[in-house]
Amino acid sequence: MRGTLNFETAKVARPHGRPLPDALEKRAKFYRVPIPHSDEKSGPPVTLRVMLATAASDHPRGSIIMCPGRTEFIEKYFETVVDLIGRGFNVLVFDPRGQGLSDRLIDDPLKSYVRDFQDYADDMAALTDIFTPLLPKPHILMGHSMGGCVALQAVISGVSNPSAVVCSAPMLGLFDLDSPLIWAVKALSALGMSKHDLPFQKGRQGLPVPFEGNKLTSDRARYDSWAAYFQNIPELRLGPPTYGWICAALRAMRFVNKNADKVKVPHLIIAAGGDPIVDPASNEDFARASGGRFENVKGAMHELFLERDEYRDQFLAHFDSFMAENAL
């Protein structure tokens, strides 16, 4: 199947019949792509939903392979993909296994579970390999939050060899996981509760909280646009993390931070200065240890791609500067 597009066409989520952005109408295609398991431990094959959007140019300057954060889905990135194809890049973005409209991994589709973050990294690498004929080089891995950790793990573990990595608020240190109770989470997961929800968590049905209580963005219009997907398309919903997901996240963050010096390609780490979820200091510490470029969008909340223009434009300016700095 490599090098072909003989894939099943995937559904596009359209709350209230929402159309694709004009810039994507003729440039984006959606697929369901089977991914073979990488080893005996990773379980049965999964099928991932993928979007490939082609550059608004006859001669693409390269390709961006994007991994979203936890609970996220392709459509959340439409505005950003439009920005990137307008800059001359082909863009591949996918729903990570266990979320969006990719295959869910356990019987209860609302449970957020993964065996190991290396499975996410292997998926990112496999999709890059499958779509390589349509992804002109240089290849740039991009990830937000969980996806930033995944992109870095893909490079450190050796399954991906891009020309550069760009991370938005990468999940390298979480405020919510700085708790003495984490030892109990690890113990209960090891005792067979890895696929159980953690108790007393909000959002158990995968519905967004009211804007006034959200930790993601200060932009009301972008928040409402994002929330409409979960409110109107139940298949997209994902609840809070399971014991197993938490343990996998802890392992991944420990692995990536411990091996920061193994990232040998240019990389840009952009922190959200007002982030209440990912500790911006963890992003700066990683960049210092890895020798990467670090930028801090002061005042921005966690979702830089959904933030107000004053913050979002800073992200894009840092991206443009980094690309020029590295002749990409």
d(CA 284, CA 264): 17
Joined tokens for residue 254: 């420990």
Fill in the amino acid letter for 274. G
- pLDDT given at position 182: 63
- Asked if residue 2 belongs to a domain, the reply is no
**Domain span at 252:** 8-325
The pLDDT of residue 5 is 72
pTM over 0.85: yes
Which ranges of the chain does DSSP label H, i.e. alpha helix?
22-25, 78-86, 117-130, 146-156, 182-188, 220-232, 243-258, 280-290, 309-325
Instruction: For residue 279, tell me if it sits in a domain.
Output: yes
Copy the structure tokens of residue 6: 């003989």
CB 265 within 8 A of CB 163: yes
- Domain for residue 127, yes or no? yes
CATH of the domain at 142: 3.40.50.1820
Residue 177 has what pLDDT? 63
| Burial of 204 from C-beta contacts in 10 A (0-12 / 13-18 / 19+) | middle
| Strand 89-94 with 164-168, pairing | unpaired
User: For residue 311, which amino acid is it?
Assistant: Y
Q: Is residue 3 part of a domain?
A: no
φ/ψ of residue 168, rounded to 5: -105, 115
Q: Return d(Cα 242, Cα 193) in angstroms, integer.
A: 8
| Structure tokens belonging to residue 175 | 């405020």
46/33 Cα distance (integer angstroms): 8
- In contact, 145 and 69? CB cutoff 8 Å: yes
> Tokens 């609970």 sit at which residue?
71
Is the backbone peptide bond immediately before 180 cis, with ω within 30 degrees of 0?
A: no
The answer to the question of residue 110 being in a domain is yes
Backbone phi, psi, residue 280, to 5°: -55, -30
**CB-side exposure of 83: number of CA atoms within 13 Å?**
14
| 26 is a domain residue | yes
CB of 271 closer than 8 Å to CB of 283: yes
Give the total residue count for the chain: 328
Tokens describing residue 96: 């990570």
Residue 316 forms part of a structural domain:
yes
Q: Consecutive sets of 10 residues in the chain, 328 residues long: mean pLDDT of each?
A: 70 97 97 81 83 95 98 98 98 98 94 94 97 97 98 98 98 76 56 59 77 97 98 95 90 97 98 97 98 98 98 98 97
Q: Are 181 and 157 in contact (CB under 8 A)?
A: no
Number of domains in the chain: 1
**Taking the CA of residue 218 as centre, how many other CA atoms within 13 Å lie in the half-sphere pointing to its CB?**
14
**CA distance linking residue 279 with residue 142, whole number of Å:** 19
